[in-house]
Structure 1
Amino acid sequence: MFVAMNRFRVVEGREAAFEEVWKNRDSSLKEMPGFIDFHLLRGPHHAEEGYTLYASHTLWKSREDFIAWTKSENFRNAHRNAGQNKDLYKGPPVFEGFTAVEGA
C-alpha cells in the first residue's frame, strides 16, 4: 500500500473557501486503478504564523498506481484550476509519500 499526502498551509480566515474548493472539485480518483480511499484532513491552527494546516490523504494499492494517477489525463483535469486559488495558501503544498511496511 502507498499513502500520498499533500500538506497545505491555508491562510487564516480562508479555511471555508479552501474546503469549498475541495468539496466542489471534479475528482475522478475512483476511476483510477489502484485507488483505495481519500480524505481531506484539517489539522491544527497556527495563529502565530497565520495559517491552518490541512492534508489531502490518498491510499493506493501501490506507489506505481499513484504515479500512474499523476501522469493521467484525470490528474490534469482535477488540477487544471489549481492556480486560481493561490490566495488561499501560505506557500506551495508539500508532498509526502509513504510505502506501508506493516498494517492491520
Structure 2
Amino acid sequence: MFIAMNRFKIIPGKENDFIEIWKNRDTYLDEVPGFKSFDLLQGPSSEESTIFISHSTWESEEAFKQWTKSEAFRKAHANAKPAQGIYLGPPQFEGYNKAF
C-alpha cells in the first residue's frame, strides 16, 4: 500500500474557499487502476496559516506513479490553478509505503 499526501498552507479565513475548491473538483480517481481512497484533512491553524492535507491511498507506489502519467491526472489538474489569495505557496508532497 502507498499513501500520497500533499500539505497545503492556507491563508487564515480562506479555509472554506479551499474546501469548496476541493468539493467541486472532478478528480477522475474512480477511473484509475490501483486507487483505493481519498480524504481531505484539516489540521492546525495559527495566525499565519491553516494546514490541509490531501491524502490518497493506492494499491502500490507504482499505481500512484502510473496515475501521475495518465490522462485522468491531466484532466484532474487541468483547471487546478491556485486561486489567488488562498494558498501560501505550492503544496508539499510526501509519499509513504506501508512498512507492514
Tell me which interval the TM-score lies in, with the shorter structure as reference length.
over 0.9
**Letter of the 1:87 counterpart:** G
- Aligned match of 1:81: 79
Map of 1:33 onto structure 2: 33
- Structure 2 counterpart of 1:11, one-letter code: I
Amino acid at match of 2:4: A
Tell me the residue number matched to 1:52.
50
Whose helix proportion is higher, 1 or 2?
1
Q: Compute the displacement of 1:46 (Å).
A: 1.6
3-state SS of paired residue (1:33): coil
Give 1:87 shift. 2.6
Equivalent pairs counted in the alignment come to 100
Structure 1 residue ranges (4+ consecutive) displaced by more than 4 angstroms after TM superposition: none
Task: Report the secondary structure of 2:3's partner residue.
Answer: strand
When normalised by structure 1's length, the TM-score is: 0.92
Gaps of 5+ in 1: none
Distance in 2 (alpha carbons) for counterparts of 1:15 and 1:64: 32
Please name the residue that 2:23 is paired with: 23
In 2, the alpha carbon distance for the partners of 1:59 and 1:83 equals 23
Kindly provide the amino acid, as one letter, of the partner of residue 76 in structure 1: R
Query: Does 65-74 or 76-85 show the bigger shift?
Result: 76-85
Return the offset for 1:58. 0.2
Aligned to 1:85, the other structure's residue is in SS state coil
Extract unaligned runs of 5+ from structure 2: none
Report the CA distance between 1:27 and its aligned residue: 1.4
Q: Shift in Å at residue 85 of structure 1? A: 1.3
Matched, 1:5 2:30: no
1:72–1:40 distance in 2 versus 1, CA, 3 Å:
same
